[in-house]
Structure 1
Amino acid sequence: MPTISRWTRTASATATIGTVVAVALAAVPYFAARAETALIDLFLFVALAGLWNLLAGFAGLTSFGQQAYLGVGAYALHLYASAGVDPAWGVLLAAVTAALVSLPVSLLVLRLTAGYFAVATWVVAEVLRMLATVSPRVGGNTGVSLPGAGRHPLVLWHAITYWWALGLMIASVIGIGLLMRSRFGLDARAVHAEPLAAAAAGVAVGRVRRVAYLLAALGTGAVGAVLFCHHLYVQPSSIFGPQYSVYMLFMVLIGGIGTIEGPILGALLFFALQQTLAGYGAAYLVVLGAVAMLVTLFAPRGIWGAVSSRWDVSLLPLGYRITAS
C-alpha cells in the first residue's frame, strides 16, 4: 500500500545539521570576530534571495523594485533613531514601517501583472529614491549616518548587527518554509501556476498575492535596516540602487526558483563569486553574466532544480511524497 508523507530522513538530517550550524554561527562573535563582516553580507544575501523567491518563485510576482523597501527600512530606522529609539531595537519598527508603506503601494501595483507589475515596482523604487534625495530631513542626496549607534561599544554593536543578520536569515528560511507547507503555500503555488484556474477553484488570488507582497516588504525592510546598522551610513543612490534587484534575481535563478534550497545555494555561489572576483573590477560583472547565461542554458530550473530532478532529492520538502510500502 502506498505511503504518503511530507517529511523524510534526509529532511530530518538537514534540520539537525542546520540547527548545529546555526548555533555555531551564533557564537562567531566570541571566537572569530574577524569573520563577522563577510558573514553579515552572506546572511543578508540569503534573506534577500528567500524573500524575492517568496514573491517570484511561489506567488508569481516578479519584482524589479524590492530595493524600495530596503530604502524604506533604512530611512525609517534613521527617523526612529533620531527620535531617541535605540537602533538595535529600531530594526523591528523599521520592518513594520516597510510593511505599512507596502500596503497602499500593493493596492496599485497588484492591479498589474507580469512585465507591467515588474516595471511598476521599479518605478515605485525610483519615486522613493527621488523623495529621499530631495528630503533634507533624511540628508538628501548626501545621505545620513545612523544616530545612536555610539551608545553601544563598537565590538558589541558589530555583534548585535551580526546577530540581527543571522536571525533574519534563519527567520526567512524557516518562516518561508513553514508558510509554503501551509494552506497559504498551496494557494500561492496554485496562483503561480495558473491564476485563473486557482480563482475558479476558490483561491483568493488577490489576497494571496497581497500577503506575499506585504511579507516580502516586511522582511526586506528589516534587511535594509540591518544594512544601515552594518555600514552606519546610507545614501539614496546606494540603498535604492537597482543592483539589489539584480543580485536577488541572480541568486534565485541560479540557485533554483520555487524551492527553499535554491536561493540558499544561489546566495552562497553569489557570495563566493563576489569575494573571489570583486577585486577584478568589470571582469567580476562579466563572470556573473557568463555564469547566469550558462545556468540558464543548461539548467533552466537552476542548479538545485537540476540536482533535485536528477537524483530525486529534497532537503526541505514542501509537498507530499508518495512511496510504495
Structure 2
Amino acid sequence: MNSQTYAVSRSSRAARVSAIIGTLVLIILVAAPWWAGRADMRLMGELFLYLALASLWNLMAGYAGLVSVGQQAFVGFGGYMLFALTMFAGLHPITAIAAAGLLGALISVPVAVLIFRLRGAYFAIGTWVIAEVFRLGFAQVSALGGGSGSSLPVAIVKSLASKRAMRESISYWLALSAAVLVVASVYFFLRSRKGLALTAIRDNETAADSLGIDIWRTKFVVYVVTSAFTAMIGALIFLQKLRISPDAAFSVNDWTAFVIFIVVIGGIGTIEGPIIGTFVFFLLRETLADLGTVYLIVLGVVAILVMLKAPKGLWGLFRARFDVQIFPLGYRVSKRDPS
C-alpha cells in the first residue's frame, strides 16, 4: 500500500460535521429553560435519562456480552439511596446522587462475583432474580415506606432550589448532563485500550483470551462501572418523580424492557443506536400512549419487524447503505486528497 496515496485515520468528515451540529444542539438544549415549557422540559429530561440507561445497557450487552434483564435493580437501588441519604444522612440531593453511584458500584461487586458464575440465559435470569431480591428487600424497610413507598419531604425538595421553576430547571440540567456524561464516557472508553480489549472480546472471546486479555476482569469492570452510572440515573429519575415505591423503582418494564427495546431497534453494539432508538421510542410513546394496550402491541410489532428486516437496527441499516459513522471507534483507510 502506497503511504503517499492512502491515509489511516479515526475521524471522518461526517463525524466532524456531526460534532459541530451536536455542539450547537447542546447549546440550544442547555438554554431550554428560557424557551421550553415545563411539560416539554419534563419530557426531554425523561428522554435524556432513558438515553443514558440505554447507552449503559448497550455497553454491557452490545460490547461486553452481558445481557442483563435486571438492571432495574440498580435503578431502584439508586432511587432508594437518594431518599435514604437525604432523609436520614442529611445530604444535599446532588451530593446524594453522587453517593448513590458510589454505593451502586460497591453493591455491584458481590453481585457480579455471584452472577458471573452463570452464562447465557442463566446469567440473564440471574440478574432478574437479583433485582427481585432488591425489590423484596426494600419493601421490608418501613423507614422508607415499606411496600407502599415514600415521598421526598418538602424541605429536601426545596433544598435543591426554593422556587419551583428553578427546581425544574436544575432537574432538567442534571438529566441533560447525565446523558452527555454517559454517552461521552462510553465513547472515550471504547476508544481506549480497554475499549479495544472489550471489542476484541465481543468479536471473538476465544481469540481475545489467547492474546492475553483478561476477559473476566474486563467484563467485571464494565459491570461495576455501568452499575454505578445506572444507580446515579436511578437517583435522578426519582428526584424528578419525588416519590418512590418498590414496584415503581424495580419495574422490569420501565427500566429494562423499554431500554432493551430502544437498543434493539436503534442498533445494538453501536453508540449511535441508543440515540436513534430513544427518539423512536418516545415518538411512538407520545403518539400512541392514549391507545392503552395497543401502544404496547405496536412496540412489540415494531421490535419484531426491525429484528427481521434490520437485525443490526435502524442505525445499522443506515450505516450499511451510506457508510457513515458519527462516533468513529476504529481506524479507517482512505485515499489522500491529491491536492
Question: What TM-score comes out, normalization by structure 1 length?
Answer: 0.98
User: Residue type of the partner of 1:30?
Assistant: W
Larger displacement relative to structure 2 (192-201 or 73-82): 192-201
User: Residue type of the partner of 1:196?
Assistant: T
Secondary structure in 2 aligned to 1:165?
A: helix
Match of 2:128 among 119, 122, 126: 122
- Partner Cα distance (1:214, 1:274) in 2: 31
Structure 2 residue 222 is matched with structure 1 residue 216:
no
Match of 1:281 among 292, 304, 313: 292
> Alignment RMSD, CA only?
1.0
Q: Which residue of 2 aligns with 1:13?
A: 17
User: Residue type of the partner of 2:9?
Assistant: S
Aligned pairs for 1:243-254 within 5 A: 243=253, 244-254=255-265
Once the two structures are TM-superposed, the CA of residue 67 in structure 1 deviates from its matched residue by 0.5
User: Residue type of the partner of 1:25?
Assistant: L
Larger displacement relative to structure 2 (92-101 or 125-134): 92-101
- Partner Cα distance (1:156, 1:74) in 2: 21
- Partner Cα distance (1:210, 1:146) in 2: 34
Aligned pairs for 1:27-106 within 5 A: 27-34=31-38, 35-82=40-87, 83-106=89-112
- Partner Cα distance (1:315, 1:86) in 2: 37
Once the two structures are TM-superposed, the CA of residue 323 in structure 1 deviates from its matched residue by 1.4
Once the two structures are TM-superposed, the CA of residue 137 in structure 1 deviates from its matched residue by 2.0
- Partner Cα distance (1:115, 1:194) in 2: 19
User: Residue type of the partner of 1:316?
Assistant: F
Structure 2 residue 282 is matched with structure 1 residue 271:
yes
Q: Which residue of 1 aligns with 2:150?
A: 144
- Partner Cα distance (1:17, 1:324) in 2: 26
Q: How many residues align?
A: 325
Once the two structures are TM-superposed, the CA of residue 175 in structure 1 deviates from its matched residue by 0.8
- Partner Cα distance (2:242, 2:275) in 1: 26
Aligned pairs for 1:283-302 within 5 A: 283-302=294-313
- Partner Cα distance (1:95, 1:30) in 2: 30
Structure 2 residue 321 is matched with structure 1 residue 310:
yes
Q: Percent identity?
A: 42
Once the two structures are TM-superposed, the CA of residue 33 in structure 1 deviates from its matched residue by 3.4
Once the two structures are TM-superposed, the CA of residue 248 in structure 1 deviates from its matched residue by 1.2
Structure 2 residue 179 is matched with structure 1 residue 169:
yes
8 Å CA contact 1:70–1:220 kept in 2: the answer is: yes
- Partner Cα distance (1:71, 1:155) in 2: 26
- Partner Cα distance (1:109, 1:193) in 2: 22
8 Å CA contact 1:260–1:316 kept in 2: the answer is: yes
- Partner Cα distance (2:303, 2:222) in 1: 26
User: Residue type of the partner of 1:20?
Assistant: L
- Partner Cα distance (1:9, 1:240) in 2: 43
User: Residue type of the partner of 1:136?
Assistant: S
**Deviation sequence 1:115-161 (CA, Å, 0-9, x none):** 11111111110000000111112211111112311332222211111
Q: Which residue of 1 aligns with 2:250?
A: 240
8 Å CA contact 1:110–1:209 kept in 2: the answer is: no
Q: Which residue of 1 aligns with 2:216?
A: 206
Structure 2 residue 110 is matched with structure 1 residue 107:
no
Q: Which residue of 1 aligns with 2:195?
A: 185
Q: Which residue of 1 aligns with 2:27?
A: 23
User: Residue type of the partner of 1:18?
Assistant: G
Secondary structure in 2 aligned to 1:141?
A: coil
- Partner Cα distance (2:276, 2:228) in 1: 23
Higher gyration radius (CA): 2
